[in-house]
Amino acid sequence: MSRPVDMARVLAAEQTIAEALALRPDLAGRTAAFLSSDPDAEALEEPMADRFDKPTQIRLDADILTRADALVPFVASKPEFQAIGRVTRASVLRLAMLRGLAELEAEGGKGTKPRKKS
Kindly write down the DSSP assignment for every residue of 12-74, as one continuous string. Answer: HHHHHHHHHHHH-THHHHHHHHHHTT---HHHHHHHHHHT--S-------HHHHHHHHHHHHH
Note whether 34 and 49 are same-domain residues.
Answer: no
The total of other beta-carbon atoms located within 10 Å of residue 75's CB is 18
Name the pLDDT band for 67 (thresholds 50, 70, 90). very high
Domain range for 103: 45-118
Note whether 50 and 74 are same-domain residues.
Answer: yes
The rounded distance, in Å, linking the Cα atoms of 14 and 79 is 9
Note whether 51 and 30 are same-domain residues.
Answer: no
Cβ distance 77 to 57 under 8 Å? no
Note whether 33 and 91 are same-domain residues.
Answer: no
Note whether 33 and 50 are same-domain residues.
Answer: no
Task: Give yes or no for residue 80 having a pLDDT over 90.
Answer: no
Note whether 74 and 101 are same-domain residues.
Answer: yes
Cβ distance 77 to 8 under 8 Å? no
Name the pLDDT band for 25 (thresholds 50, 70, 90). confident
Q: How confident is the model at residue 1, as a pLDDT?
A: 60
**Residue 57 carries which side chain, given as an amino acid letter?**
Q
pTM: 0.49
Domain tally for the chain?
Answer: 2
Task: Give yes or no for residue 111 having a pLDDT over 70.
Answer: no
